[in-house]
Structure 1
Amino acid sequence: MLPTNYLISLVIHDIILAATCYVTGWCVLRYQVRVNYTRKINHFLLMLIPFVLAWWFPYTPSLATTVTSLVGFVVMTGVFAKPIRDRVPLVATAFAAVDRPEDRPHTLAWILSQAVGAYLVIIVVFSMLRWFDAAELVAIPLLVNGIGDGLAEPIGVRFGRHRYHVPSLAPGRCYTRSYEGSACVWLTSMIVVLGLLPILSWPVFIGLIISIPPVMTLTEAFSPHSWDAPFMYAIGGACIGFVLLITGG
């Protein structure tokens, strides 16, 4: 049986995300706002709203809640399928908020596959950290991806002057990221670990503050375009587990 507070949070989260997606999509179509910005607005909300709602509707995460969230996301995103958006203008407007021109025609496939991969990795990472009795540390890769990677693209688009090439899931395509954007991941990693200082032992804190910023930054830098979340969760989780192992937790 799913917790009532979880179900309330899920409904509120999905309503806010759907409304924001429509409004930002309308801004793209009406005012030519760059999709790089509107996509990351939705990225922020997708990752951060659950943390905010947890203050008002606390519940204990479990395999059931994680799987339900994944199924809900796949169903909601599946509404963006071309046969539907071609017939429903409201859906087409919402899709405009996440449909980067450089991702076409793979936009929807990459969004869905990244989400499934990310959720599966989080299940493994959460289970591993719970074994260490440190399940709360799953917030590190979640927040670094949600905030750091969320800021990396718009900062890179607006201020990025020093660029480097990144791989792609689509053969024959070349994408770039910027050192300015990558710096957002580094800074966010530092802030997230510092924010957890009150619940960390000094050996664990020192291990994380030394390892997490470079590991997460390099992972984001070299992950395939539009598929960085699963890699950041997996490698970030492995890094946390290694620190807990060598420090004794």
Structure 2
Amino acid sequence: MVQNVHWFQVCADTDTSVLQDYEGTMWLPETLAWLEPFLPGWRMLVVGVPAAVLYSGAAAALAGWLRSHCKVRVPYTRKVFHFTIMSAAGVAHLAWGLPGVVILGSVTALLMILAVVKGSGFPFYEAMARPSDAPHRTLFILIPLTTTALGGVLANLLFSPFAPIGYMVTGWGDAVGEPAGTRWGKHRYRVPSLAGVTATRSLEGSGAVFVA
């Protein structure tokens, strides 16, 4: 009996750090310690992942519905999704910190990859893929996804206290720019692009980004 009590006491003492790791973030080797601020604890995962799935799924469904049923043009449906997700990222960061943003961003990225896998005809894919980007419509979904993720990582590594401001500037400014340029853009200019796709912007759209 004494041995059992002693064994239990030792386990309780030695498992404290393990429990703390589960409560907080997973253990990382020293070379990867810079990743620690990005990692959510298991409790946040349990609550945050379903919430992110519901929110991001609703935003994707809205964009897909606007495109497939209401025939709203892609510049608008694309930015509706962008606006809702980036705004939520700012709120998530202020409310739950960087791990909350990581959960939202990861779920959103998986939804976008699912749309790419489904391809043409899938409502969410059609809401995100510009006809003008053909035949590289998928490429111009994946590139912004990648650069947005990298921008978020760098913003938090270099300017962590101000990262939510970056989310809002990106989410609101970029979301306003393309629809404004599509609707009112008269003075167009060409910009560098990948894969040989002709890309233009307008002074009106760029001005809307600046004002936002």
TM-score (norm 1): 0.60
The letter of the residue matching 1:78 is I
Deviation at residue 9 of structure 1 after TM alignment: 4.2
2:64·2:125 contact (CA, 8 Å) conserved in 1?
yes
Q: How many percent identity over aligned positions? A: 28
Q: Deviations over 1:39-82 (max 9, x none)?
A: 10001011011223456xx32315xx666555433322221234
TM-score (norm 2): 0.69
1:59 to 88, 92, 96: 96
1:40·1:154 contact (CA, 8 Å) conserved in 2?
yes
Alignment of 1:1-249 (within 5 A): 1=25, 2-3=40-41, 4-5=43-44, 8-53=47-92, 58-61=95-98, 69-82=104-117, 84-85=118-119, 92-129=122-159, 135-171=160-196, 173-188=197-212
Q: Deviations over 1:81-128 (max 9, x none)?
A: 34x357xx7xx1222211210123323333223222322233223222
The letter of the residue matching 1:166 is V
Deviation at residue 8 of structure 1 after TM alignment: 3.3
CA distance in 2, matches of 1:49, 1:101: 27
Q: Deviations over 1:130-152 (max 9, x none)?
A: xxxxx322233322111011100
How many residue pairs match? The answer is 173
CA distance in 2, matches of 1:119, 1:69: 11
Cα 1:13–1:70 change in 2 (3 A) is: closer
CA distance in 2, matches of 1:67, 1:184: 29
* Structure 1, gaps ≥5 residues long: 130-134, 189-249
Q: Deviations over 1:174-229 (max 9, x none)?
A: 221111111122212xxxxxxxxxxxxxxxxxxxxxxxxxxxxxxxxxxxxxxxxx
CA distance in 1, matches of 2:211, 2:46: 34
CA distance in 1, matches of 2:124, 2:51: 18
CA distance in 2, matches of 1:69, 1:23: 17
* Structure 2, gaps ≥5 residues long: 1-24, 26-39
Larger Rg: 2
1:168·1:174 contact (CA, 8 Å) conserved in 2?
yes
The letter of the residue matching 2:204 is E
Task: Please report the RMSD computed on the Cα atoms of aligned residues, expressed in angstroms.
Answer: 2.6
Deviation at residue 166 of structure 1 after TM alignment: 1.2
1:81·1:108 contact (CA, 8 Å) conserved in 2?
yes
